[in-house]
Structure 1
Amino acid sequence: MQFRFDQTSIRLTHPDRDGLLSDVAAHFARGQGFALATINLDHLVKLRADPAFRTAYAAQDMVVADGNPIIWLSALAGEKAELLPGSDLVLPLCRAAAAAGLPVSMLGATEAALQGAADHLAAQVPGFRAGALIAPPMGFDPEGPAAQAALAEIAALGPGLCLIALGAPKQERFAALGRQLAPQTGFASVGAGVEFLSGHQARAPRWVRAIAMEWLWRALSAPRRLIPRYARCFAILPGQTLAAWRQRRA
């Protein structure tokens, strides 16, 4: 599936989990960094309006589908895609890093959430090794001095994995800068995945996710903030559906 915005084109690079994790393991084995983004409808809304976000997304080495609408649009375009939310990728990515003997850094959330996530991963992932745990200040600029200092700290560890829990578009912009300043690090934008592990945020129950209603569960948990966001997402669906149908015909 390919998404086009003016002169920028963004494509799903890995349609399934096995292919993604195989590529991640190969990067780790070579000591080569990467940037991984998980695209969803909210990202598509932001990408339409934010040229800087488009530039950051175009710098991502790996892009996978996050959200059932992306899966459905891909199917309409004649391409298969597996649902791979960032939250579901945290454990597999950390297992891959541990298997390669690499540290896992985390940036975002709060100090308590980061430490809680590190403790959870240490209990769940044999060989897990925590790297830098960085809770950025309020108003954190993903390309500013604080971001550059964080990346210097991460780069000093050598090859490794960094989980970014800033939310879009900050996490993708930080990852794009990281590809330049910490080229041996694999950056994965996982959103609330870190806080789910630490228990600082509650994820929708598994049965809610199984019926593709996690969005509604989240919207009802914070209606004033999320209902307008989801309304903007639904508003772009007709245009994206037409674009997917045209891709299938082409």
Structure 2
Amino acid sequence: MIVGRDRLRLLDIEVTALPEHRMAEVLGDLIAAGGRRTVVGHNLHSCYLYHTLPGFKALYDSADVVLMDGAPVYATWKRQGTAAAADSSFRVGSTDWIKHLASVTGLDRLAVVGTNSLSNAEACRRLGMQLPQTEVLGLAGENWGPGREHAVVEELRAFQPNLVLVGLGMPLQETFLWQRRGDLPDAVYGAVGGALDQVSGHQRLAPRWLGRLGFESLWRLIHSPRRVFGRVFIEPWKLAAVLASRKFQSTDTGANK
């Protein structure tokens, strides 16, 4: 299956307009196609990183699927108008598609990379119950550094997974996937951020109805104020400044031609 991209002019990014119920089919197609495949998601935080970190941008530009994770990204896509029916099922976070893994064809080896040892073990246990026919390998992300990174790559090469959930947080997980792209074995790699802690139950997931109303950031601010304060109140303004600067430079360049 070929999935196209929609360009969001306001945010100067591209996204894959894909509803949640099709994710299992798309993941199965990516596994069957072989090679190294990548699934990522866009929210305002990733939009800022996309425009400020070259390696992060390169990974997103090369990704097979770029989901609309954040409410502002989905709202921008909806207001812009597309050929697809713009309902809320097109806003797909990592936990949304992880819950459909039992329907993914060809998934028999799953690796889970990231979070601490206890949360990783519990996430693997729960995923194993969800996927009784799938072998699950857990690789915690504690003490991440060159030595641990090398060990994880070697264990992945030995395991030869079909799908790898990488939950190291932004932008560490994207840096890992981009910089080690030549060393990692062929598989579908999903950059899932904090979803592993949500799968394990170590972090409370905001009610989906709250996310549809655009208040998920408020939920996260209440439960993890130190972690998300900057993302909610500061980073959107920094992103706006970056986009305005790019727009000004583009206009200035056009005027000087």
Classify the TM-score, shorter chain.
0.7 to 0.9
Pairs aligned (count): 233
TM-score, normalised relative to structure 2: 0.79
Deviations 1:21-70 (A, max 9, x none): 32321222244331110111111122222223222322322211001111
Whole-angstrom CA distance in 1 between matches of 2:170 and 2:102: 21
For the residues of structure 2 that align with 1:53 and 1:64, how far apart are their CA atoms? 15
Report the counterpart of residue 27 of structure 2 in structure 1: 24
Q: Percent identity?
A: 25
How far is the alpha carbon of 1:185 from its aligned partner? 1.3
Alpha-carbon shift at residue 3 of structure 1 (Å): 5.5
One-letter code of the match for 2:108? Answer: L
Q: 2:108 aligns with which of 94, 102, 108?
A: 102
Partner of 1:225: 227
The root-mean-square deviation of aligned C-alpha atoms, in Å, is 2.8
CA distance in 2 between counterparts of 1:23 and 1:32 reads 15
1:225-244 matched pairs, under 5 angstroms: 225-235=227-237, 236=239
Structure 1 stretches lacking a partner, 5+ long: 244-250
- The partner residue of 1:59 within 45, 62, 66 is 62
Greater C-alpha radius of gyration: 2
Closer, same or farther in 2 for the Cα pair 1:186/1:216, shift >3 Å?
same
Matches within 5 A, 1:74-113: 74-79=77-82, 80=84, 82-93=90-101, 95-96=103-104, 99-113=105-119
Please give the per-residue CA displacement for 1:202-244, whole angstroms capped at 9, x wherever unaligned.
1123442343311101112222332221123442469879x8x
2-structure distance, mates of 1:69, 1:238: 17
SS at match of 1:136: coil
- Give 1:189 shift: 0.9
Listed as ranges, the gaps of 5+ residues in structure 2 are 1-5, 248-257
- Cα offset, 1:87, TM superposition: 1.8
The 5-angstrom pairing of residues 96-245 of structure 1 reads 96=104, 99-131=105-137, 133-138=138-143, 140-141=144-145, 144-177=146-179, 179-235=181-237, 236=239
Contact kept, 8 Å, 1:104 with 1:161, in 2: the verdict is: yes
